[in-house]
């Protein structure tokens, strides 16, 4: 019978005997887990020598001695010599120190699980009979794929400390949401969501997940930022896991910094899952590279709410690509200011509406004509404005270079039916 335990190796010594391919790979994993690793091998690999240049790894280029086990909490015998690995395992047994024998998994007192980490949850698979690492890894990968796709309910069953996770959901296509973002949604008791982003994923949440819609439109801000901050803090103080589901990236004109500061002031644990910002992804999906060798070697991102600020105008004048977010209503003023400082009237402008979705549309013009063309074509937010030499002149509309991914339906075994919206 094998009992599975999770070992906290942070700051604890782990002895790895054998600094070849297997030992070095396992040593790297122990370092990632926070262990202080001692590598012992008379002929270590080049990779092991490179690892030893870091403070968490000590390398002794000689044969192993019994005294090397002093102070070790865990031992890995991976020399490839069956007799030597068995000797190391016997030393560990005599000292009552857990030992993994890589030459014969049945001989050691411990086995290394094929593991994957998902937020604060680690999934591990161990062979309990004859060791079969490839089978364990195959099962691990299959289970990890389900968890990573958000197909498993990861909510806590036992009360714990509340926390907040800021998730950037990208420009709108659910297929562009980071895996860590899907896992955060699967663990959420409460989701505080924007109007934009991959909000279709919220239909997969169980009925008892509270969804609070705080989305803003250009002319309507029903929930002030201070109230959003209060909601995050109050729900977390109740011991709940709160996901702040934001379009794009939380730290790119998303006020994520303000929300993080509010949580930390209240003593709330808060983490951030970066998202794909629409400033770069939406132009890319429309076939517009914001930088290109020989065309534009830098890019400037700014908010349309501040209009054509001096930094943006200077970037345009210097030949950079400038991406304006939330700039539809200010487009006329931005173009006028650009012309006023001598920007070429024929400089291309592209406006991408509803980027990454089935309703994506690209309207192309120049600095001199953009305001008129946008009004004639009925351009509406959400939209990204790209100015510079990168946007090539083409037809007035185009489709996404990457078809939007439909969210998995509840019938496919997702996280449940429609969520309750408050």
Q: How confident is the model over 114-164, as pLDDT tens digits? A: 888 888 888 888 887 777 888 888 998 998 888 888 888 888 888 889 999
Residue 400: pLDDT band (50, 70, 90) is very low
Active-site residue, 216 included = yes
Pairwise CA distance, residues 128 & 3, whole Å:
9
**Position 417 pLDDT exceeds 60:** no
Q: Is 104 helix (H, G, I), strand (E, B) or coil?
A: coil
Query: 29 or 414, which is more confident?
Result: 29
Pairwise CA distance, residues 320 & 325, whole Å:
16
Q: Got the DSSP string for 302-329?
A: EEGGG-S-HHHHHHHHTT-EEEEES-TT
Residue among 216, 309, 333, 344 flagged as catalytic = 216
Q: Is 174 helix (H, G, I), strand (E, B) or coil?
A: helix
What's residue 396's pLDDT? 40
Helix axis angle, 331-340 to 310-317, nearest 10°: 60
Instruction: Kindly report the length of the chain.
Output: 422
Residue 270 gets the label, from left (phi > 0), alpha (psi -120 to 50) or beta, of beta
Q: Is 401 helix (H, G, I), strand (E, B) or coil?
A: coil
| Contact indicator for 23, 17 with CB cutoff of 8 Å | yes
114 forms beta bridges with 125
**Position 409 pLDDT exceeds 60:** no
Active-site residue, 130 included = no
What's residue 119's pLDDT? 80
Mean pLDDT over all residues of the chain? Answer: 88
pLDDT for 223-274, tens place per residue? 899 999 999 999 999 999 999 999 999 999 989 999 999 999 999 999 999 9
Angle at 207 between CA 202 and CA 213, to 5 degrees: 45
Pairwise CA distance, residues 98 & 82, whole Å:
18
What's residue 382's pLDDT? 93
Beta-strand ranges (E) seen in 183-289 are 190-193, 210-213, 241-246, 269-273
**Position 356 pLDDT exceeds 80:** yes
How distant, in Å, are the alpha carbons of 117, 147, 281, 307 from that of 169? Answer: 20, 18, 12, 26
What's residue 220's pLDDT? 60
Pairwise CA distance, residues 165 & 244, whole Å:
6
Q: Is 392 helix (H, G, I), strand (E, B) or coil?
A: coil
First to last CA, the chain: 49
| Tokens at 296, concatenated | 């534009």
**Position 275 pLDDT exceeds 80:** yes
At which residue do the structure tokens 């796709």 appear?
A: 149
Mean local confidence (pLDDT), 207-214: 94
77 forms beta bridges with 17, 101
Helix axis angle, 225-237 to 256-265, nearest 10°: 40
Residue 421 CA from chain centroid, whole number = 26
* % of the chain at pLDDT higher than 70: 90
| Contact indicator for 300, 314 with CB cutoff of 8 Å | no
pLDDT for 188-204, tens place per residue? 999 999 988 999 999 98
pLDDT for 334-345, tens place per residue? 999 999 999 999
pLDDT for 290-304, tens place per residue? 998 888 889 999 999
Pairwise CA distance, residues 67 & 86, whole Å:
16
Residue among 41, 173, 194, 249 flagged as catalytic = 194
Residue 188 gets the label, from left (phi > 0), alpha (psi -120 to 50) or beta, of beta
Mean local confidence (pLDDT), 98-124: 85
Q: Which residues contact 411 (CB under 8 A, 6 or more apart)?
A: none
Q: Is the dihedral of CA 37, 42, 46, 50 positive or negative?
A: positive
Pairwise CA distance, residues 110 & 102, whole Å:
10
What's residue 418's pLDDT? 33
Pairwise CA distance, residues 390 & 297, whole Å:
10
What's residue 221's pLDDT? 62
C-alpha dihedral over 364, 367, 368, 373, to 10 degrees?
30
């Amino acid at each position: 019978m094998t009992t599975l335990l999770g070992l906290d190796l942070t700051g604890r010594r782990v002895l790895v005997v054998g600094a070849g391919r297997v030992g070095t790979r396992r040593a790297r994993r122990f370092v990632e887990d926070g262990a202080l690793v001692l590598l012992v091998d008379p002929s270590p690999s080049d990779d092991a020598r490179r690892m030893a240049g870091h403070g968490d790894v000590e390398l002794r280029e000689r044969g192993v001695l019994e005294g090397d086990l002093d102070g070790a909490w865990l031992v890995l015998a991976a020399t490839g010599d069956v007799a030597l690995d068995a000797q190391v395992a016997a030393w560990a047994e005599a000292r009552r120190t857990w030992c993994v024998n890589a030459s014969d998994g049945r001989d050691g007192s411990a086995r290394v699980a094929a593991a994957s980490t998902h937020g604060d949850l680690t999934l591990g698979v161990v062979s309990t009979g004859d060791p079969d690492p490839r089978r364990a890894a195959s099962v691990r990968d299959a289970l990890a794929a389900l968890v990573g796709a958000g197909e498993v309910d990861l909510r806590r069953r036992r009360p714990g400390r509340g926390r907040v996770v800021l998730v950037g959901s990208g420009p709108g296509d659910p297929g562009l949401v980071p895996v860590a973002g899907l896992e955060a949604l699967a663990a959420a008791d409460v989701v505080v969501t924007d109007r934009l982003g991959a909000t279709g994923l919220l239909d997969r949440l169980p009925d008892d997940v509270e969804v609070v819609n705080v989305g803003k439109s250009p002319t309507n801000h029903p929930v002030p930022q201070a109230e959003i901050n209060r909601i995050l803090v109050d729900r977390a103080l109740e011991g709940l896991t709160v996901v702040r589901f934001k379009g794009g990236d939380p730290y790119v004109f998303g006020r994520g910094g303000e929300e993080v500061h509010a949580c930390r002031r209240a003593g709330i644990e808060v983490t951030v899952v970066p998202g794909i910002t629409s400033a770069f992804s939406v132009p890319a999906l429309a076939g517009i590279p914001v930088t290109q060798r020989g065309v534009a070697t830098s890019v400037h991102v700014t908010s349309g709410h501040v209009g054509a600020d001096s930094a943006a105008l200077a970037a345009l004048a210097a030949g950079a690509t400038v991406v304006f977010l939330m700039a539809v209503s200010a487009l006329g003023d931005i173009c006028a200011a650009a012309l006023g400082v001598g920007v070429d009237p024929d400089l291309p402008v592209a406006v991408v509406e509803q980027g990454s979705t089935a309703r994506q549309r690209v309207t192309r013009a120049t600095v001199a004509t953009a305001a008129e063309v946008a009004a004639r074509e009925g351009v509406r937010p959400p939209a990204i404005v790209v100015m510079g030499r990168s946007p090539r002149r083409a037809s007035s509309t185009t489709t996404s270079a990457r078809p939007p991914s439909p969210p998995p339906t509840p019938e496919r075994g997702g996280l449940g039916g429609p969520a309750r919206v408050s």
